[in-house]
A and B are shown apart, each in its own frame.
Chain A
Amino acid sequence: MGKKVVEIENLVKRYKELIALDHLNLAVEEGEIFGLLGPNGSGKTTAINCILALLYFDKGSVKVFGKEMQPDSYEIKRQIGVVLQNVAVFEELTVQENIDYFCGLYIQDKMVRKKYVEEAMVFSGLEEFRKFYPKKLSGGLLRRLNIACGIAHKPKLIIMDEPTVAVDPQSRNRILEGIQMLNKEGAAIIYTSHYMEEVEQICSRIAILDKGRCVASGTKEELKSMIKMGEKIHMEVMNLLPFQIAEIKELRHVYQVEYQDGMLEICCSGGKHNLVHILDYFNSREIGFGRVYSELPTLNDVFLEITGKKLRDSAETA
């Protein structure tokens, strides 16, 4: 077990009547990418702001690098890099100047800073755009600049609050690869998102938040093992009769069947060879079928099963 970089205990934060964080407990260890997954309004950004000592909270404690985090914990803050949800760069400074400005808030040595700025530009793929002003950059490049400004000083802990919002797939992949690279270089990373695919792709441990509570946490495998679903099978079937649906439900390990617009969705619990059993049934009843595919449970399924709602739907309606 690695050394704890961030420890949150029983954190409660209220906005008048609304409970934004409800006795939240989290621990982030050295060298890991810790994902905070949850729909909009689940408390991810509030948790980040509490970690950074930007917000008052009603109860609990936040420790960073083993020390209580306070607004004047400058020594601790110097080891943290922050990439906020909203792009926070100066419109009147070029790409290079922006990175230099924010890097300079941490690094005083001119030569070291120059080297770090150059590295940050290479890291974020902005070398060709160094003389560009932010308004001339595309959304993806702007996000990359936002990241470069947050990580140029080579912090030990990087906090990224939804850094890929409204970013094109190419930039998103580049950002995700970059985060993994930063992690390999030794930085612990807290990554918040409501995109489960991203979290699943890069995070070594994940906490799922809903209504300010941590509803589940662990590695993605651990999270998936917490739920009943082990496999989801989709089949194209025409004119399936109700009694046949009932028969499928009776098959071994099948616990849920949905049939809509010629598409059959079968949820199976953790047994092996589920697909074989189902195909056997269709063959034995001489029921024709089209495409068949099987998928393992996603974090969305985990979220759905734990909270009773879909992660993406919550994100969109929030």
Chain B
Amino acid sequence: MFFRIYKYSLLRSTRDRLMVFWNLVFPIILGSLFQVAFGNYTEKEVLFHQIPVAYVKEEGADGNFTELLEILETDSELIQVQTVGKDKAEQLLRDGEVEGIYYNKTAEETDGQAEGIYDNEPGKETDGQEELGITLVVQEQDMNQSILNSILEQYERTCATLLTIGKEYPEGIQEAAKLLEEDTKYLKENSMGAASDNGILDYFYSLIAMNCLMGATTGLLCSVEFKADLSALAARRVVAGHSRFQVLWPDLAAKITLQFIYIVFTACYLMFVLHVPLGEQWGFLLLTIFVGSLLGIFLGFFIGVAGRMQYSMKEALCILIMMVSSFFSGLMMDGMQRLVEQYAPVFARINPASLIVKSFYSLNIYETYGRYLQNLGTMLVLILVLAAGSFAMVRRERYASI
């Protein structure tokens, strides 16, 4: 019986043109429009590529910074360093071969020419490097230059901290060095994270998140066909000679399957047709999409079984939640996630669309899976809460009124 109901449920869903439009066609159209709007960014493939930088080091200059650059080049593959002379470096910058030049001079030779950050004119240098003698010259203000500056700033902070600890608490210097080493890893994650802070990929992540949450309307439909006090169809199924859940499981399974397929199709379209670099970890990408689909469908199912509002009201509520959730995940505005993190951190941690976006983000940006698993775990907890709440509400089998 399971497979027969599953088959019919799949058939019904694929024949529902409205559902196919909203769950499959609409995200593809929206994705294409995003591509038209931001296409040049993704085509440049600025993400996940090492940032070329020239390094001019004078004799007797700070050797630690040289080591840091080596680590960032070899271990983290964040930057690509060319150690050259001053003239060559400037030539490379003018030709656009590198994104910036690190000057590592001896402290005495620093001439204090650094004023202001990112003047967008060649030759201008960043400030604050007088003491260490390290300066950064950039061609223009962009994301990559921001990363190069972050590296320098982080290095400065580290040196300043160690200097202070060395002066005031010399016995703890070893421990401090260890902690700062971890901090450097954070710098790496942060810097790489900044690579997507251009917001372009976030739009596409949000699009997929919205697609996942569109499953809410499917879940809602499932609940309407399940509760006898919501539709005659449900009543007819309830009075059949089987447990109601024997009919529900294949129905839910079919809806989840189809939602998953729709989103995978959208993701494939984004990646292979529009060349949006969503990432290469297919297994985890699919897992995220699957969990996202579950989240969307159980959200709709929960809304469906809760209360006795009219179907149209519940449908409107589903769409409202989907849109609000997607909006705050950055579907319509760059930097929205940061604002939400800043002003409503709790909401940021439970907003379904944000969780899906952050899962993609952390999966593709960070080398470790800690943050990814954290987001995925939160989604699973949400699904569990929604499912448990739903089943608690439908556990009774008789109704007060129909």
Q: Which of A's residues lie within 8 Å of B, judged by CB?
A: 15, 49, 52-56, 71-72, 74-75, 77-80, 82, 84-90, 92-93, 97, 101-102, 104-106, 108, 149-150
Contacts and interface: CB of A to CB of B under 8 A. Distances in A.
B242 to A, nearest CB: 6
Interface string B237-266: 111111100010000000000000000000
A75 B399 contact: no
Contacts of B238: 54, 71
B400 to A, nearest CB: 6
B30 interface: no
B232 A54 contact: no
Contact of B241 (A75, A86, A89, A149): A75
Contacts of A55: 398-402
B8 A97 contact: yes
Contact of B12 (A52, A93, A104, A108): A93
B228 A54 contact: yes
A91 to B, nearest CB: 8
A92 B233 CA distance: 13
Interface string B376-402: 000000000000000000000111111
Measured as residues with beta carbon below 8 angstroms from the partner, the interface class of chain B is 20 to 34
A54 B399 contact: yes
5 contacts: A49-B402, A84-B235, A88-B233, A101-B8, A108-B1
B95 interface: no
Contact of A84 (B232, B240, B399, B401): B232
B232 A52 contact: no
Contacts of B402: 49, 54-55
Given A54-B235, A84-B235, A101-B8, A77 B398 contact: no
A78 B241 contact: yes
Given A54-B238, A101-B8, 17 more contacts: A53-B397, A53-B398, A54-B228, A55-B401, A71-B238, A71-B397, A82-B236, A84-B232, A85-B232, A86-B232, A90-B8, A92-B11, A92-B15, A102-B240, A105-B242, A105-B247, A108-B1
A101 B4 CA distance: 8
B11 A77 contact: no
A174 B400 CA distance: 35
A93 B243 contact: no
A69 B233 CA distance: 21
Contacts of A53: 397-398
B87 interface: no
A87 B233 CA distance: 8
B380 to A, nearest CB: 31
B75 interface: no
A149 B237 CA distance: 11
B231 interface: yes
Nearest to B247: A105
A77 B11 CA distance: 27
Contacts of A54: 228, 235, 238-239, 398-399, 402
Contacts of A49: 402
Going nearest first, the 9 A-B pairs with the smallest beta carbon separation are A78-B241, A71-B397, A105-B240, A88-B232, A86-B232, A92-B15, A92-B12, A77-B241, A88-B236
A49 B228 CA distance: 10
Contacts of A15: 400-401
A108 B228 CA distance: 23
A97 B398 contact: no
Interface in B1-25: 1, 4-5, 8, 11-13, 15-16
Contacts of B13: 92
A318 to B, nearest CB: 17
A52 B239 contact: yes
Contacts of B401: 15, 55
Contacts of B232: 84-88
